[in-house]
Structures are given as C-alpha cells and as structure tokens.
C-alpha cells in the first residue's frame, strides 16, 4: 500500500478543508408512519427525487416535515450516508440503516438480565468518569497544547438497530484527517486500520497504544448509545463494506470493549470474520461473560495489545 506523506506544516497549521463529495444518486422516497424510507433509484424510467447537493435545504425540509426518523439502505455510498446523517442531525431527526432483523439479540432473549446489565454499566460508566476526570482533563490539555484543533473527535458510527450516532474520542490525528482517510487507506481490504498511519500525532500514537483516546466513549454509554461490553461500533466506511450475510449484526448495541478487542484486535482485520466473532458472542451472551471481558480488558489495555 502506498503511504501518504503529510507535510510538516499540516501538523502545525489547520489545513483548509474541502467539503465532502456531493451526492449524485437519484432517490425514491416512501412515507410510512412518520418514517421516511430512502432508496437509490436505479431505474431511469421511474420518476425519482433529484440528486441532492444542498445539505441545508434537506435539513430545512426535514425540519418542517412530520418525519420522526429516516431509514437508509446499507448499500448507500459512504459520502451519501454522511450527507443524510449530517442533515438529519441539523434537523433533530433520528437516522437508521435498514438492516435485517436478528432474533438472537441478548435483549430479546432475556430482558431482565439485559436491563440489569444496562443499569450496572451505566453506574460503572458514571463512576469511571468521576474517577478518571483528572486524567481526562490532563489528556485534553496535552492535546490542546501539542496539536492545534479541537480536543474531541466525533464520527458517525452504527449503533443499536442500525441507528447512527456520533461517537466521542480524544483527537489523535491532525485536523481534517477524515478527509484524507481514503487517500491513506487506498483499496485496502478489510478493517480500515493502518499501523503507520501518517495522520496520527505523536501524542495520539501513545494514547492509542493504551486506548486512552476511547475514554470519552463513557459519555456515549451514559447517553445509551453504547455499552461497556459489546460488538465493535462500525464506522460508515466499514459498515457499507459488510457482506449481506453478516449485516444483521448491526442490530446489536455496540460496546467500548468486546470479545474481538481482547482476543484478536488489529491482528484480525477481516470484516466478516470480526462480525462472526461478534455474532458468536451475542449468541452465547451472559452477564458473567461480560464481567470476564471487562476484567480481561485491563491487562490488554496496559500491555497495548494489538493497538494502533
């Protein structure tokens, strides 16, 4: 893979960002019980909604409509998913991916144990935020003084039942790194992770080694968007490349740590293989297993296992 060289000045100055690619697809829209179902219109003979290029216009239309949520197909191109997600966020509307149903979810099999898990994790997350707040403030200050730009980084991820949410992380890359993502990764197959990613700052590399950049995700746990233990929360550029056979895994509530993180992590980057590991975890889920994963996460984090 050809690596991208980032000039030194990018690390000391905020680069001029270019807007994402304008969506070019025509759509067919279907209204159902205050839900807007969006599909790509591949038949030129069927009238369709024209290509959208103005995110503000779409946001204003959604804001004035009775729509409560928007559903998009999983075969949408990544730039268009982000386009719609940002528009829905500005309009205060929820946005979901249309994912196949899944019967083996722990929440469906044992609701009582599941809610015990959720309340326990909420309390643990709140306690951890309180205890770790001095460390998090120190990390925020180090990021602020070492690299210009925001302290926190947010990114769209796929959550429970395919709902898109913004994950919180400490910024470990140069500002505008997300616009260089595909230039760095190229046509890399599997999970989009790069051991020698030139966009990562020196402080960011150290934080990633010990998973310190993920501490703000405790906020996502308190907001109900994530769990302490669960499958990996897929980014849009990974979610759109999942095979149809494993897309039903996107129904699960994602977690900060999970079976993949403590057993394979970056040593396994095959998307479908990672999803099958997660499906195995979901099929055998138990409260005891989650506690075991939490305890095993501590030595893995301290050793920097498979992290970059």
User: Whole-number mean pLDDT of the chain?
Assistant: 84
User: Minimum mean pLDDT among 53-67, 133-147, 178-192: which range?
Assistant: 178-192
Token digits for 157?
């991820």
Mean pLDDT of 48-66: 79
User: Is the separation of the CB atoms in 187 and 194 below 8 Å?
Assistant: no
Mean pLDDT of 183-192: 67
Token digits for 263?
């057993």
* Tens of pLDDT, residues 216-258: 999 999 999 999 999 989 999 889 888 888 899 999 999 999 9
d(CA 253, CA 231): 7
Which pLDDT does position 11 carry in this prediction? 37
* Tens of pLDDT, residues 111-136: 899 999 999 999 999 999 999 999 99
Domain boundaries, the chain: 27-98, 106-154+183-303
d(CA 167, CA 219): 9
d(CA 25, CA 49): 9
Which pLDDT does position 40 carry in this prediction? 78
pLDDT for residue 8 is more than 70: no
**Nearest partner of 100 among 218, 212, 225, 251, judged by Cα:** 251
Which pLDDT does position 163 carry in this prediction? 96
First to last CA, the chain: 17
DSSP state string for 221-250: HHTTS-EEESS---BHHHHTTS-GGGGGGG
pLDDT for residue 267 is more than 70: no
User: Is the separation of the CB atoms in 214 and 243 below 8 Å?
Assistant: no
């Amino acid at each position: 893979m050809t690596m991208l060289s980032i000039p030194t000045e990018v690390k000391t100055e905020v680069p001029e960002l270019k807007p994402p690619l304008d969506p070019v697809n025509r759509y067919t829209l279907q209204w159902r019980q205050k839900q807007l179902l969006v599909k790509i219109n591949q038949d030129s003979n069927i009238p369709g909604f024209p290509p959208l290029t103005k995110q503000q216009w779409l946001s204003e239309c959604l804001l004035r409509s009775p729509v409560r949520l928007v559903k998009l197909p999983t075969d949408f191109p990544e730039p268009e998913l982000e386009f719609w997600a940002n528009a829905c966020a500005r309009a205060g509307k929820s946005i979901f991916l249309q994912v196949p149903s899944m019967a083996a979810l722990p929440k469906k099999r044992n609701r009582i144990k599941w809610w015990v898990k959720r309340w326990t994790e909420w309390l643990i997350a709140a306690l951890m935020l309180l205890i770790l707040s001095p460390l998090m403030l120190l990390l925020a200050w180090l990021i602020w003084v070492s690299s210009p730009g925001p302290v926190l980084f947010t990114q769209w991820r796929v959550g429970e039942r395919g709902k898109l949410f913004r994950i919180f992380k400490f910024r470990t890359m140069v500002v505008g790194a997300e616009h260089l993502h595909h230039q760095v990764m190229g046509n890399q197959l599997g999970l989009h992770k790069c051991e020698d990613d030139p966009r990562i700052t020196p402080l960011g590399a150290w934080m990633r080694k010990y998973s310190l950049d993920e501490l703000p995700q405790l906020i996502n746990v308190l907001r109900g968007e994530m769990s302490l233990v669960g499958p990996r929360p897929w980014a849009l550029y990974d979610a759109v490349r999942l095979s149809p056979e494993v897309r039903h895994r996107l129904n699960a509530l994602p977690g900060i740590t999970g079976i993949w993180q403590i057993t394979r992590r970056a040593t396994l980057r095959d998307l479908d293989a990672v999803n099958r590991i997660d499906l195995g975890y979901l099929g055998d889920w138990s409260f005891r297993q989650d506690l075991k994963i939490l305890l095993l996460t501590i030595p893995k984090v301290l050793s920097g296992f498979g992290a970059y």
